[in-house]
Amino acid sequence: MNNLLKGLLNLENTKKTEINDMMKENAEFWYERPLKRVMLEYAAQDVIYLPEVYEKFKEIITASQRAAIFQTSANFIYYSMINRDIHEFTALKEGDLIGSYIKNFYGKLIFCSLNLGCTGIVKNKNSCQYLKDNFDMGDLINLEVER
pLDDT digits (tens, 9 = 90+) for 54-76: 899 889 999 899 898 888 888 77
User: Distance between terminal CA atoms of the chain?
Assistant: 35
Domain span(s) for CATH 2.40.50 in the chain: 89-144
Contact 4, 53 (CB under 8 A): yes
Angle at the Cα of 147 (from 139 to 142), degrees rounded to 5? 20
Round to whole Å and give the CA distance between 39 and 32.
Answer: 10
Question: What pLDDT, on a 0 to 100 scale, did the predictor assign at position 12?
Answer: 85
pTM of the complete model beyond 0.95: no
Mean pLDDT over 7-11 rounds to 90
Question: What pLDDT, on a 0 to 100 scale, did the predictor assign at position 73?
Answer: 83
Long-range Cβ contacts of 55-59 (<8 Å, 24+ apart): 56/8, 56/9, 57/8
Q: How many CA atoms lie within 13 A of 139 on its CB side?
A: 12
CATH topology of domain 89-144: OB fold (Dihydrolipoamide Acetyltransferase, E2P) (2.40.50)
